[in-house]
Chain A
Amino acid sequence: MTIPWEQLHGAMTHFPIALLLFSAACDFGSVALKKFAFAYELRKVSFYGLAISAVASIGAVISGIALTKGNMWGRAELGWHHRFIWPAFGLLVALAVWRLIVRDQMSRTGFYVYLFLMFLTSGLVAAAGYFGGELLIAGG
């Protein structure tokens, strides 16, 4: 039996991508709406979103490696997909670990640095997703 890695990779990547972007949106929302009582709840939601996104990204990475037969860089669209996804994966893991340790004890500076890195990671993931989509279109 052959495993349909192309379909599996597609199914496994959208969940962590969506959760990461949702987590980033919740963090930005908690800053923009800090006057409201639910701003704190937004941060809590963003934490769980990020944690689940980081765990789910492991499945996305494994299915991606299986799909490309261990080609960690590649050329053209695949090369660009990898150039964006590896730093994004590294940042995602780092942010999740940092947030897991710090939890609610974030300083203002720490939180803004974290927000900047979340913004950067979301951008990298979006770019990797774009080139991943291009690969799918090119592959028919």
Chain B
Amino acid sequence: MVTALEIKAAKAAVLTSALALTLTFVAGGIYRQQIVRLKKAEQPTASAAIVAEGRLFFVKSCAHCHGKDADGGEDAPSLQKIPISAAHMTLVIQSGIKGDMPSFAKKYSEADIAKIVGYLQSLK
């Protein structure tokens, strides 16, 4: 037969365990948020000069399809607030999209493409 003391102890045990797990998950969540925030802060943002140069390249080679302000044209989408990473954007500019967009790998160096990406990122 289980005693009253054992039942009382079981209740205290369940409560303590639940509290320990809750505290652990809350602390882990807060720590995770801090890490994400720090990572975001560490991400380099393009300087004003890079953005301006990137805009020049954009107007010269991309604006006739994507619009003067990258807000989209008849056959090409808006690039403002486009939900893709800088790395993905670089890849698309370098490789192009078969049947839709030419490759710019020969026209622009990696540094120049980074400037275009910097400009597009600044629109987000």
Residues of A participating in the B interface, judged by any CB pair closer than 8 Å: 61, 65-66, 69-72, 86, 89-91, 93-95, 97-98, 101-102, 105-107, 109-110, 113
Minimum CB–CB distance for A13 against chain B, Å: 15
**Docked-complex contact B6 and A94, CB < 8 angstroms:** no
B95 beta carbon closer than 8 Å to chain A: no
* Range for the number of chain B residues in contact with chain A: 20 to 34
Cβ-defined partner of B8 (8 Å) among A69, A89, A101: A101
A selection of 23 A-B contacts at a CB cut-off of 8 Å is A61-B24, A69-B32, A70-B31, A70-B33, A70-B34, A72-B25, A86-B24, A89-B21, A90-B21, A93-B13, A94-B14, A94-B17, A97-B9, A97-B12, A97-B13, A97-B16, A98-B12, A101-B12, A102-B9, A105-B3, A106-B6, A107-B1, A107-B2
Cβ contacts under 8 Å, B27 to chain A? 65
Residues of B participating in the A interface, judged by any CB pair closer than 8 Å: 1-3, 5-6, 8-10, 12-14, 16-18, 20-21, 24-25, 27-35
**Docked-complex contact A101 and B5, CB < 8 angstroms:** yes
A114 to B43, CA, bound (A): 51
**Docked-complex contact A70 and B32, CB < 8 angstroms:** yes
Q: Could you list 20 further interchain pairs (A-B, Cβ under 8 angstroms) beyond the known A72-B32, A91-B17? A: A65-B28, A65-B31, A66-B31, A69-B31, A69-B32, A69-B35, A70-B28, A70-B29, A70-B34, A72-B28, A89-B21, A89-B24, A93-B13, A93-B16, A93-B21, A94-B14, A102-B6, A105-B3, A107-B2, A107-B3
Main secondary structure on A side of the interface with B: helix
A98 to B10, CA, bound (A): 6
Minimum CB–CB distance for B75 against chain A, Å: 39
